[in-house]
Amino acid sequence: FHTLRVILGDQLNSTHSWFKQQDQGVLYLIAELHPEATYVTHHIQKLCAFFLAMERFASALKENGHDVCYLTLDDTQNQSLEEVILSLTKQHNIDRIELQRPDEYRVLQQYHQLITSDSKPTFNMVDSEHFLLPFNEIPNFFQAKSTVRMEHFYRKMRQRFNILMADEREPEGGQWNYDVANRNKLKAKDLDDIPAPLCFQHDVAHLLERIQRHEIPFLGKAESNLLWPVSSQDALSLLTFFCEHLLPNFGRFQDAMTSQTPHSWSLYHSRLSFALNAKLISPKHVIKAAISAYRENDNIDIAQIEGFVRQILGWREYVRGMYWINMPDYQQQNALNAERALPSFFWNGQTKMKCLANAIGQSLDYAYAHHIQRLMVTGNFCLLTEIRPQQVDEWYLGIYVDALEWVELPNTRGMSQFADGGWIASKPYAASGSYMQKMSDYCGNCHYKVKEKTSAESCPLNSLYWRFMVKHRDRLAKNHRIGMIYGNWDKQDDAQKHAVLERAQWCLDNLESL
Ligand code: FAD
């Protein structure tokens, strides 16, 4: 072999131009790496999903006539990515190494070290051919350490790629954004209509054995039948299922939460994030298929399709831009000086707060929670209780099957924790129990009383919310989207204010027992 091409676990893009032809002398490397499996404690289903998808990808390449070297944890032992690449280069007398641009800063650093080392081979880094916005155009849309609004970026992307447009300038349907139509609560009568999710049944017994034998620490519930998609065929089936059964109600119930059905964990969400992030499927293809379904079916209206397109063409591309323009500074941000430790119930779901017990419990069971659970349940709790952003990041980065730093970090540190001081969010996503009651049915059978603010049984979110707002008044009162909230606080008498703040302090002092 003269050339080694490295394929990372999140670069499983079968449509990449590398694979257009079988090249004599080119060896593809796919490797299970101990450092990748341990840089944070991952959910066991996440480890299995990546390893199985990598195995399947290697087999498919071999079937298509490519030369592939697949190394398991047994082969690579404790070696780093650089060590594995260099030893293979030596073994096969390789003089050229080709890489796809990694999505994570950590890996880019590793590649830079490799490229600048004294090794003989020449290096070439190519695009991963996945995102809509070319990497080198990120600086045209984003500015470091500055506020860039998603909505502004999203409109530009709609125009640029001519997606859901009436003409060159105007959006189809006359409105750019149907967010206000995306806030319905699920009522009892809606629950029976929620479709059972499409779950795969991939045997991962051999991976569970291997991961345990190598003493890789993990969290969450191990399943010998993995439900996540691990090939582009799986991803396409999941997409077809989504377009047919879930898209007609996607936008409508996008922010809803329930614990009252067996399908509460998945609702109308696509669960395509792992397949997208591993590049088993391209965002362009997902958007195109969803828009075709919208054009062909009367039961999908503009609010549903726009809500879905906004997540992928808007939010997903936007957080990638914000990540790259702000790294490595992003991972140092802690604008609100949050310093408390994450309570241990994040690792076992054992809390009396029903909203948290549900969101954490299903994350441990499935390595998945939908957006509003991540943002407004676990995220909101960490924001109000001032958990150290690095610990919050580590939890999110480990527990979700789709968690890769480029998308996890801006969402967690930026959007949910406001630790960037507002580069992403125009205001902190802080909420009291009344939000939970409005958007979910969690409060009905909760130990705490959502209507109460100061009693020992009062919902902790109520007092914590006011404490947070009062503490950050100087920063937040100027914000026209929040300013008026302080009128409600000022109207209360001093005794009531004191009781609220006292209850909040008790909650903060007793986080572990909530
Ligand atoms: P759907 O609800 O079906 O949405 C469709 C697709 O849109 C998703 O698959 C995803 O690719 C994209 N999308 C939606 N919202 C966002 C967003 N805010 N940012 C980027 N893409 C988005 N997403 C990840 O992929 N990995 C993460 O590690 C991750 N961490 C998050 C942490 C926090 C604190 C929050 C608030 C959000 C996080 N998200 C993350 C975004 C979002 O919650 C998930 O993409 C989504 O829940 C995945 O489920 P789904 O595929 O069913 O999404």
Nearest CA to ligand 1 atom 13: 311
Task: Please list the ranges in the chain whose pLDDT falls under 50.
Answer: none
Atom of ligand 1 nearest to the CA of 242: 3
- The pLDDT value recorded for residue 183 is 82
Residue 179: the pLDDT is 84
Tell me the two tokens of residue 443: 């409060």
CB atoms within 10 A of CB 90: 12
Q: Which pLDDT value is given to residue 479?
A: 86
DSSP 121: S
Q: Is 135-203+229-326 CATH 1.10.287.40?
A: no
pLDDT at position 213, please?
97
For the structural domain made of 344-513, what CATH number should be given?
A: 1.10.579.10
The CATH number of the structural domain formed by 3-126 is: 3.40.50.620
User: Which atom of ligand 1 is nearest the CA belonging to 412?
Assistant: 34
Ligand 1 lined by 407 (C-beta under 6 Å): yes
What the block records as the tokens of 411 is 């969402």
Distances (CA, A) of 222 to 56, 336, 340, 345, 361: 20, 36, 30, 19, 14
Tell me which of 291, 411, 429 to substitute to probe ligand 1's pocket, judged by most ligand atoms within 8 Å of the beta carbon: 411
Mutate to test the pocket of ligand 1, among 273, 392, 404 (most ligand atoms within 8 A of CB): 273
Tell me the CA–centroid distance for residue 271 and ligand 1, in Å: 9
433: DSSP letter: H
The answer to whether the CB of 255 is under 6 A from ligand 1 is: no
Measured CA to CA, the distance from residue 155 to residue 250 in angstroms comes to 21
**Which residue's CA is the closest to the ligand 1 atom numbered 18?**
315
Q: Name the one residue in this structure whose structure tokens are 């032809």.
A: 21
CA of residue 174 to ligand 1 center, whole Å: 26
pLDDT at 335: 97
> Is the minimum distance from the CB of 375 to ligand 1 under 6 angstroms?
yes
Tokens 């054995």 belong to 209
Which amino acid is located at 448 in the chain? Y
Please give the pLDDT value at position 120.
77
**Could you state, in order of their start, the residue ranges of all structural domains in the chain?**
3-126, 135-203+229-326, 344-513
Ligand 1 pocket mutation pick from 243, 285, 311, 322 by most atoms within 8 angstroms of CB: 311
Pocket test for ligand 1, best of 198, 383, 402 (most atoms within 8 A of CB): 402
In the prediction, which pLDDT does 419 show?
A: 98
Q: How far is the CA of 216 from the centre of ligand 1 (A)?
A: 26
